[in-house]
């Protein structure tokens, strides 16, 4: 008899499950919460802040905040934090290999990518970051107040005082007021913390729900796509069910509010769930890492698919003093022309006409170096790039409030680059228009000295309008110029620019012929001064007269 009942129940289970799915209300469309950069950077800030990460100025100079905004579209706070952290500190070779295999599998199977994306949708309902809660070693659970063990005496005292006031003496209202003052004080003391905690527990619930869905066997995915989720579903579901408050009070309008005020239900639930979260903190941290990394990989898959016909490739690894980029482009520039460059042993001195795109070239190179180190791919036909920290100096500015001139700001940044390069590990330095905050003679002199020293320790790519730096530093930096070919396309070619267009632009912008003629005359005289005594010999002799540059 019992076996017959079990068979009947088993036969009806799929029907009942489908019926429950029909009756279940549709999940609301997730809204991307506008998290601050500090929230997105929280996971990165909790890691070891070694010298291998991109520093703040490099992040700004390479416009990586704008690049990150493209990757962050339709991504929860968990995936955003994972992507941001990868961009700032890079990824290990082992992690790159694992993630590349998953990204390639998802690119080849759009259906699997779409199903995984649906399972991750609930993460986007999270409106509070929890990386600090789960990974900050200094995070400690606040101890419950000692009086909370005797919480039930407060509502009992309140009832007793009201009964006494009604039945015995109106003076008992004083005790009623005293009990109410204690209840109000408890709510005022805990109100903000409870509100913030409710948002964090919502984020944790979204995390646990996703982890349950992605447990092995739930979606029939290849093991490599959901590796690490095996066997977590039951535990994640059990923790998830323990976090919301009791549903009984929510069934009667206003009952939950009465329970909070007179029974301290919200305060008791606050400390109870704090204990649950801290008891399962390691497990929750593992769920976080699994979900965040999977969502980050799916975001990269979506991004690569969205490139359409624009070039991208998996980058090969080169030595510390070499790089090659074929038809490299910047993903923030639609229709940008691909530029190719190859360096081996020396850095590069980039020259070019005003407005031709030297700064954009440096940003393109820097972003590709960062993307290859973080994600394994870059925006080019082919690439061989070093997995090195990148330091940029491109947007130094004077500070009126700080009392700092442009040149002083440039000197401070140059010292920072020298310190990073002389720290004993290889780095890449990208420098745009070095020392433009002082006069021409001193700019060339300081730039030649600093770049000569910097290039001994780092792979340096520098752009400058000071063309005399080309022959001065030829022993350290291979000369390249950005120019247009016969068809009007931009190309990088060996050599220093022969003639600038700064004087020619005077006429194009309405200056009188007399002004243009005077400018051309002075330019001709200065051009004759360029090659009086230049090159490695001059700098080598100067090095022998002093103790070198301070780091």
Structural domain boundaries of the chain? 122-304, 313-500+539-543
Alpha helices in 24-92 (DSSP H): 37-40, 42-46, 56-61, 64-71, 77-89
**Spatial contact of 132 and 277, defined as CB atoms under 8 Å apart:** no
**Spatial contact of 61 and 395, defined as CB atoms under 8 Å apart:** yes
**Spatial contact of 122 and 203, defined as CB atoms under 8 Å apart:** no
pLDDT at 551: 37
Token pair listed for 230: 């095996």
pLDDT at 532: 43
CA angle, residues 491, 452, 478, in degrees to nearest 5: 25
Q: Give the model confidence (pLDDT) of 139-151 as tens digits.
A: 999 899 888 888 8
542/551 Cα distance (integer angstroms) = 18
225/116 Cα distance (integer angstroms) = 9
pLDDT at 226: 87
164/483 Cα distance (integer angstroms) = 94
Taking 70 as the pLDDT cut, the residues of the chain under it are 1-28, 48-51, 216-219, 246-255, 396-404, 486, 488, 498-510, 515-520, 522-551
pLDDT at 259: 74
Superfamily of domain 313-500+539-543: P-loop containing nucleotide triphosphate hydrolases (3.40.50.300)
329/408 Cα distance (integer angstroms) = 33
CA angle, residues 32, 35, 41, in degrees to nearest 5: 125
Q: Give the model confidence (pLDDT) of 80-97 as tens digits.
A: 999 999 999 999 999 999
35/57 Cα distance (integer angstroms) = 21
Identify the CA nearest to 141 among candidates 282, 277, 286: 277
380/51 Cα distance (integer angstroms) = 28
Residues 6 or more apart whose CB falls under 8 angstroms from that of 32 comprise 73, 74, 75, 124
Q: In angstroms, what CA-CA distances link 324 with 340, 383, 462, 483?
A: 8, 6, 16, 19
pLDDT at 3: 58
């Amino acid at each position: 008899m019992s076996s017959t009942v079990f068979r009947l129940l088993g036969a009806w289970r799929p029907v009942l499950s489908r019926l429950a799915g029909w009756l279940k209300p549709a999940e609301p469309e997730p809204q991307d919460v506008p998290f601050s950069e500090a929230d997105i950077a929280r996971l990165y800030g909790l890691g070891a802040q070694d010298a291998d990460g991109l520093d703040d100025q490099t992040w700004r100079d390479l416009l990586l905040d704008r690049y990150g905004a493209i990757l962050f579209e339709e991504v929860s706070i968990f995936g955003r934090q994972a992507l941001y952290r990868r961009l700032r500190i890079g990824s290990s070779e082992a992690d790159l290999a694992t993630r590349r295999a998953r990204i390639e599998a998802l690119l080849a199977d759009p259906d699997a990518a779409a199903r995984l994306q649906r399972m991750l949708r609930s993460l986007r309902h999270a409106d509070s970051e929890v990386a600090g809660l789960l990974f900050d070693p200094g995070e400690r659970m606040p101890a419950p107040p000692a009086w909370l063990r005797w919480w039930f005496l407060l509502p009992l005292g309140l009832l007793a005082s009201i009964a006494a006031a009604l039945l015995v003496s109106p003076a008992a209202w004083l005790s009623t007021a005293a009990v109410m003052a204690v209840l109000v004080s408890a709510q005022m003391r805990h109100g903000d913390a409870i509100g913030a905690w409710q948002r964090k527990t919502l984020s944790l619930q979204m995390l646990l729900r996703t982890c349950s869905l992605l447990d092995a066997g739930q979606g029939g995915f290849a093991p490599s796509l959901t590796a690490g989720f095996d066997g977590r579903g039951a535990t994640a579901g059990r923790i998830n069910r323990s976090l919301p408050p009791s549903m009984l009070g929510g069934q009667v309008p206003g009952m939950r509010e009465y329970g909070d005020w007179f029974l301290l239900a919200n305060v008791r639930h606050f400390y109870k769930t704090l204990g649950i979260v801290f008891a399962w903190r390691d497990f929750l941290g593992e769920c976080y890492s699994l979900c965040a990394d999977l969502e980050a990989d799916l975001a990269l898959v979506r991004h690569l698919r969205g490139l359409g016909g624009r070039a991208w490739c998996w980058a090969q690894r080169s030595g510390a003093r070499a790089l090659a980029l074929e038809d490299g482009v910047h993903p923030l520039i639609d229709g940008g022309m691909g530029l190719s460059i190859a360096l081996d042993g020396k850095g590069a001195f980039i020259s070019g006409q005003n407005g031709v795109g030297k700064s954009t070239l440096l940003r393109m190179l820097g972003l590709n170096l960062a993307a290859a180190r973080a994600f394994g791919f870059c925006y080019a036909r082919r690439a061989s790039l070093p997995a090195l920290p990148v330091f940029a100096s491109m947007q130094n500015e004077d500070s009126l409030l700080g009392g700092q001139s442009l040149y002083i700001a440039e000197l401070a940044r140059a010292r920072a680059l020298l310190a990073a390069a002389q720290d004993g590990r290889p780095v890449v330095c990208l420098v745009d228009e070095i020392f433009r905050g002082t006069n021409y003679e001193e700019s060339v002199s300081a730039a030649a000295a600093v770049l000569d020293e910097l290039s001994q320790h780092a792979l340096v790519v520098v752009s400058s309008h000071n063309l005399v730096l080309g022959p001065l530093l030829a022993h350290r930096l291979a000369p390249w110029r950005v120019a247009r070919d016969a068809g009007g396309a931009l190309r990088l070619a060996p050599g220093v620019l022969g003639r600038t267009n700064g004087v020619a632009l005077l006429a194009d912008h309405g200056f009188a012929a007399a002004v243009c003629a005077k400018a051309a005359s002075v330019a001709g005289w200065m051009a004759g001064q360029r090659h009086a005594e230049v090159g490695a010999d001059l700098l080598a002799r100067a090095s022998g007269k002093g103790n070198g540059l301070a780091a």
